[in-house]
Amino acid sequence: MASDTQSATENEQHTAPRATQAGASSSAAARRPATGPRWIVPAKVAVFIAAWYPLARIVLFGMTDRLGANPIEFITRSTGLWTLVFLCITLAVTPLRRLTGVAAFVRFRRMLGLYAFFYATLHFTTYIWFDKWFDVAAILKDIGKRPFITVGFAAFVLLIALAVTSPRAMVRKLGRRWQTLHRAIYAIAMLAILHFWWMKAGKHDLILPKIYGAIVVALLGWRVLVWLRERRRRLK
């Protein structure tokens, strides 16, 4: 999930056994995990655990009666915002990798993208189940009043496509098409900002949408600049 300017093959490349590169004679290299730098496994475990924080917070608040006067609204808003946060972190992986030169960062991308999908699913489920009780008429009436919901839905449908094609087997099966499909992450990020902006515009409270909008513009703008620079170099 969440491809970028680099290829799926690059993703695989970083999983190549390092021990082979260092030489079979090196016992230190032989002891090293075959999947990358030593810090990668504990770091991935730490990120995996930390990513449960938003859900744990909701559960804790629920158990201690701190979800406010409208708990459904609290959960919808919290899961929506965390979906956006995970989308931004996923999009930040490639710039971070390129700017620091730490190739192993790319190994976190799939997990972070799947967490964005996880929180989007909770967000969507809270809305159609606990807010609307699967009442199609009520949902359509709400969409009529608040069209930003359709934009969020479009982002969610694209996210489903990326989540379904995120396993390694799908990367291999789809080849180059996988990369093209996973560029949808850019459209998802823009739809998410539009969804957020539109919702908050109705409440005349655009501070957060502006902050997240600036983050997404910076993350996508960086890619455009890199693409233009590489294109210019190729044409020389």
Q: Which residues bind ligand HEM (CB under 6 A)?
A: 73, 76-77, 80-81, 83-84, 120, 123-124, 127, 149, 152-153, 155-156, 159, 188, 192, 195-196, 199
Choice between 106 and 159, CB closer to ligand HEM: 159
Answer yes or no: are the C-beta atoms of 185 and 205 closer than 8 Å. Answer: no
Q: How far is the CB of 77 from ligand HEM (least distance, A)?
A: 4
The conformation of residue 127, written as its DSSP 8-state character, comes to I
Q: How far is the CB of 19 from ligand HEM (least distance, A)?
A: 40
Choice between 107 and 195, CB closer to ligand HEM: 195
Answer yes or no: are the C-beta atoms of 50 and 82 closer than 8 Å. Answer: no
Q: How far is the CB of 159 from ligand HEM (least distance, A)?
A: 5
Q: How far is the CB of 38 from ligand HEM (least distance, A)?
A: 35
Answer yes or no: are the C-beta atoms of 193 and 212 closer than 8 Å. Answer: yes
Task: Return d(Cα 171, Cα 119) in angstroms, integer.
Answer: 23
Choice between 76 and 179, CB closer to ligand HEM: 76
Task: Return d(Cα 197, Cα 223) in angstroms, integer.
Answer: 23
Choice between 76 and 165, CB closer to ligand HEM: 76
Tokens (6 digits) for 6? 């680099």
Task: Please state, as a whole number, how many other Cβ atoms lie within 10 Å of the Cβ of residue 96.
Answer: 14
Residue 109, CA distances (Å) to 4, 51, 104, 166 in order? 10, 13, 10, 10
Q: How far is the CB of 76 from ligand HEM (least distance, A)?
A: 4
- 7 backbone dihedrals φ, ψ, rounded to 5°: -90, 170
The amino acid at residue 211 is I
Q: Is the dihedral of CA 25, 41, 186, 154 positive or negative?
A: positive
Choice between 97 and 163, CB closer to ligand HEM: 163
DSSP alpha helix (H) spans, 5-52: 8-13, 18-22, 27-31, 40-50
Q: How far is the CB of 6 from ligand HEM (least distance, A)?
A: 23
Answer yes or no: are the C-beta atoms of 24 and 30 closer than 8 Å. Answer: yes
Choice between 36 and 113, CB closer to ligand HEM: 113
Q: How far is the CB of 195 from ligand HEM (least distance, A)?
A: 5
